[in-house]
A = this chain, B = another copy of it.
Amino acid sequence: MSFVSHMDEALAEARAAAARGEVPVGAVLVAPGGEVIARAGNRTRELRDPSAHAEMLVIRAACAAAGSERLPGHVLYVTLEPCAMCAAMIAAARIARVVYAAPDPKSGGVDHGARVFTHPQAHHAPEVLGGIGEEEAAALLRDFFAARRD
């Protein structure tokens, strides 16, 4: 599986989130062996939980399944740059690499704002790769918010 096909799976989760009336962000988590072990879209509205971002949901699910608070060697694919909350969770779980699609200058916490991985205090900084699938991810978000403004 390539970067692009894993991001395609994350984009499918983002589209499913939009269909549920959630902000369209999706994520998949890939184990060191290459298999997708968790996939999720945003569920903050459905669960009435401001922490129910796609990234949080896949990491929590994978940790519960693994019986571990840490997921070394795992790769997270997510359609939007993680916020500071998710970035700190990614560090806590020792995720090896984060591949994201669209940057988020408004709420991102990786390459914008709090830049959680860049502080000397960060206990773990994953490899970060942005821009894979950016156009489709950004279009999903743009369409979603445009429709809600109508």
Known: A45-B69, A109-B84, A119-B113. Is A92-B50 also a contact (CB below 8 A)?
yes
Within 8 A of B (CB), among A84-141: 84-89, 92-93, 105-107, 109, 112-116, 119, 121-123
What would be 24 A-B contacts, judged by CB atoms less than 8 Å apart?
A47-B64, A48-B63, A48-B64, A48-B67, A48-B68, A48-B69, A49-B63, A49-B69, A50-B59, A50-B70, A50-B93, A51-B56, A51-B59, A51-B89, A83-B88, A83-B92, A84-B84, A84-B88, A85-B85, A85-B92, A88-B114, A105-B121, A106-B121, A109-B114
In the complex this chain forms, how many copies of it are found?
2
CA of A126 to CA of B103, assembled, Å:
26
